Amino acid sequence: MTGGAVAGPDGRLRCPWGLSTEDYVRYHDEEWGRPVHGDDALFERLCLEAFQSGLSWITILRRREGFRRAFDDFGIAAVAKYTEADKERLLADEGIIRNRAKIEATLANARVLAGRPAGELDALIWSYAPDPASRPAPRTVADVPAVTDESTALAKALKKQGLRFIGPTTAYALMQACGLVDDHLADCMARGAAPGGRAT
């Protein structure tokens, strides 16, 4: 079936994109689609998805450790205190994507979230997870949407909170990456994997 799961070197079936590079194999098998909880962990994913806008995800994935070093592991409280000097430091950091608008949005979003009760971001994002029973397992890549009603509503809710650089497509990528939906193909070895992910 065109666009269906593909056997890797180990003979196990995976989503086609998950075999394109070694970095993707690890990310596909161990992270993508597994539930992520915790305000800081979800803030990191929100930021990285925003930085990915207009770029390939592999570009972000290969710089993720650089991003974590540059942004204090995406601790909301820490990033919210960044100064103009920090912004200039980030703009000069070759370990990240030096996009002024995205860096400024990250700092602004941290300031918004730092004023919210602990757990509120986690609860807000996860409130938009659809009922798994309402979503048939995709058989091919063509069956995987780029935007859904839930991601559109989530983007709207995040913007209402004052967050920037988040639209329906970015929101859906977040939902996929953080396990709100399971978009591994029906025959993929990672579909229905046990909960995991990076939480704080």
Q: List the one residue out of 54, 15, 14 whose CA is nearest residue 143.
A: 15
For residue 7, give the 3-state DSSP assignment.
Answer: strand
Distance from CA of residue 108 to its chain's centroid?
Answer: 18
Q: How far, in Å, CA of 154 to CA of 160, rounded?
A: 10
Distance of CA 42 to the CA centre of its chain: 8
Do residues 63 and 97 touch, judged by C-beta distance below 8 A?
Answer: yes
How far apart are alpha carbons 169 and 49 in whole angstroms? Answer: 10
Q: What is the DSSP letter of 53?
A: T
> Is the distance from CB of 182 to CB of 133 less than 8 angstroms?
no
Q: Tell me how far apart the alpha carbons of residues 77 and 45 are, in angstroms, rounded to a whole number.
A: 16
CB neighbour class for 145 (10 Å; exposed up to 12, middle 13-18, buried from 19): middle
Q: Hey, what amino acid is at 30?
A: E
Residue numbers annotated as active site: 27, 49, 57
